[in-house]
Structure 1
């Protein structure tokens, strides 16, 4: 385990029965935690935060919910060597194939987990892609998850842009760091890309796919805004956290 922020930990798991834990970036696993007598009340699901790498290991990033039995048990009981039953991988919240259009990865909090997996995978496997924008929203600088890593990936991966957005902080001199909420960021990018699209001979909005992960209020608002801008609902995929 590694403390990522004051209330978020990175947990590293190994599957002893496998030498190669295969999953698609964006999928999740469900942990069976000893927090209730009824089996169906023990399951807790978390997106995998690492990319598949040919080993039996993977990573989860989990925020402490002090009112939640699952994360409280993990904080108080999980140690190196702790055995936890799980099922998975599961889920269809995975990257479009092929990546023929701009891809907007919009998230809040630990909703960044599946997107970190995706960007790592694109980088490591040199997947052909157009522009990828990862817009990460949180409250304060010390809530940032994987910030240094994603800035490094931005330097190494052509076409990838990482934009952290803080609702309760003023930006520093980093022009790609924003104050406010994620909605203003993706709307500005869409307008800019649509102008470039039209200048290149296209019409209307710049073709794009959108993936949303995080707090329900953010996802509900983003879906409404994107459809209001003119995008089809089928171009907007989402996964809720909490």
Structure 2
């Protein structure tokens, strides 16, 4: 059965970086808006006559908290009809038609292996939700590595919050890696996400892999993880764009 559509109301909008915005959406007829960390909602935007050309899906970036408000973090895509509408037409108080929560990109029942959360860009959204959930509910876990690829420092989403979470959540490591940053002030990892997890898994220890972001990164990560001898069943993906 497909989820029904609900009216949502935008209660707050914040510019997170030069081209990403955080949207808080309240869904009055879902109290609470209950979802599993990693799930997404689909918006029906008035950008086309055909229904399926109006639908855009976004991972929920907030953690389930018993309220009926969720947060989405959205990047403005050049020439993208959906994001252009969201950035140009949607204001605090705007109404949005949505359905959800949807999707099976969710944490395993037991976190009995190391967890590799590998993402680029707004692909951090479901992992932010998962990490806060694990922290809030003190879910027993092994090591958790959030490996986050971006081009420049200015593109990183939630960097201070993730550093703070690294202080508070035992065995959680936040590892941003930048592919184009040449500022001397950046002392973190440089390059792409793949080098990071390959180095960390030189000993081939048991792990779960969650991949979220652009297709090129996900395709490459999947090939590399399989080439290291891991099983397809250990890899979970959520494609963007």
TM-score (norm 2): 0.92
- What is aligned with 2:161? 149
1:174 deviation in Å?
7.2
Distance 1:18 1:215 in 2: 31
Residue 229, structure 1, aligned to residue 228, structure 2: yes
- What is aligned with 1:220? 219
1:37 deviation in Å?
1.4
Distance 1:229 1:168 in 2: 27
- What is aligned with 1:121? 133
- Alignment partner of 1:189 out of 193, 200, 213: 200
- What is aligned with 1:41? 53
Quickly say closer, same or farther: Cα 1:171–1:233, change in 2 above 3 A.
farther
Quickly say closer, same or farther: Cα 1:173–1:53, change in 2 above 3 A.
same
1:169 deviation in Å?
1.2
Residue 18, structure 1, aligned to residue 30, structure 2: yes
Unaligned runs of 5+ in 2: 1-12
1:215 deviation in Å?
1.0
Quickly say closer, same or farther: Cα 1:149–1:206, change in 2 above 3 A.
same
Distance 2:157 2:222 in 1: 24
Query: SS at 1:84's partner residue?
Result: strand
Query: SS at 1:16's partner residue?
Result: coil
Q: Contact between 1:171 and 1:179, CA under 8 Å: does it hold in 2? A: no
- What is aligned with 2:81? 69
Higher strand share goes to which structure?
A: 2
Which digits, 9 at most, give the CA deviation of each residue in 1:192-223, with x for residues without a partner? xx2xxxxxxxxxx2110000000111111111
How many residues of Structure 1 are paired with residues of Structure 2 in the alignment? 229
1:52 deviation in Å?
0.3
1:80 deviation in Å?
1.0
1:172 deviation in Å?
5.7
- Alignment partner of 1:159 out of 171, 174, 192: 171
Which digits, 9 at most, give the CA deviation of each residue in 1:55-106, with x for residues without a partner? 0011000000121111000111111111111010000000111100000000
1:225 deviation in Å?
0.6
Unaligned runs of 5+ in 1: 195-204
Distance 1:35 1:209 in 2: 38
Q: What does 1:101-112 correspond to in 2, within 5 Å?
A: 101-112=113-124
Distance 1:237 1:207 in 2: 15
- What is aligned with 1:202? none
Residue 53, structure 1, aligned to residue 70, structure 2: no
- What is aligned with 2:9? none
Higher helix share goes to which structure?
A: 1
Distance 1:236 1:174 in 2: 31
Query: SS at 2:201's partner residue?
Result: helix
